[in-house]
Structure 1
């Protein structure tokens, strides 16, 4: 086997980082989807916060006929990397003002970390839920001041962001609908993360659609069943895809499940439209 020099490895990692993917997700799968920005305006923006500037990625139609409905896009554990940006462009092509804030910006840069355990302990575990909720409020306010209609607002999140989406739906009634993709439903309660989605299922202020994979080894059937039971009598519901695992919409990873991803995306757009978040 031919040895690979450290310099060659660093060049490969640097090239991947420049392509916009977090180092912890390498190698990127051949199934990766890249959505064109043609007909869109995309930008990296800064949202003023009391303790700094919150970076965010924005994608929106280039020639809107008026104010645009806004979707808050909540990142995976890997941050706002190329996949999350691509999802923003897909939403923009569907007629939305999509904005994804960098919710770890105070704790560190996830794109430069090579492995998931270090990412979890060094950054993710240090991010307070309350900080995230306040940053999402600020993101929504910023969008409303820059061409978005906060009267037609929704939120969607993936993996880590799926859990955050459930929590935000219990906090903020200014958004009309939410879609949580394979977000954790239960788990350890800590000082920084004192509440889990199953705890607030009966307190949701907006309808949430949860999209889960039947083969998700981290979010098993008992968690999903418990959440479904907690949601009884509410406007929220959960869809589980047979044969799909965790991250089934992440087309840059081996666990991508095209059929579940396509159906989930269609359900998400229909959910937003049915709940007043329609272009």
Structure 2
């Protein structure tokens, strides 16, 4: 299978960790319920391709995201590869109870930088959602779990318009203060551009929060995800969220289309001489296989190109 020509670029990290969100964020927007066996095989294939962090599922109430109602069954049936992390998303203390009962060692919480999305996603204000997260994080840390924070609508909100940079820094800082080891900055509706990314990351730095504690999570709604990722890498970010095949979106923000495709990200990083530990061929094969199960083609441009060649 074709690989990108490698031309090492200056000013980039030597290695990047890809935080694969396909099994959770990618599948949660699928209308037809994906069988748990397919989800388990997807996770196994992603690990075999070399991905070291695979977000497996979420313990959100089945009423709100029916696609993930099988979280317990999935965790009980999926294969775990030594050295691979399998975090899960938890919305509240009940979700944490379920995660602890199934031996989860790493969780994530999902906050919002805007009031409109906080209301739609969590039925709470931003302050109320942070108050809800506090006991979740405290208990998780006491149980020895790692906790990651997601912050959505960091660049723009479909109801409120552009999100003020100082607002993102404030709310993101509060999530980190709760005890999150890392904060993933989400461009939920894909409106960010590279200059905006640079300005936001530098604002965090001015507030005393370095890029070693930040990750990025870009949607490709306006075709900016790779450009935005490169801008983040130049500022020192070394953790990038992506989804195999580019699947995903957000069930509470209809303008949020697919995530940055893992294959497109790997192609760019390898072309820049940045190590990922991921093998492109089995990753592409996985997305082709998944597309056949979902009944539609992958949105990843790299998958489309390489699948035609092979």
Give the TM-score band, short-chain normalised: 0.3 to 0.5
Which structure carries more helix by proportion? 2
Query: Which one has more relative contact order, counting CA pairs under 8 Å at least 6 apart?
Result: 2
TM-score normalised per structure 1 = 0.37
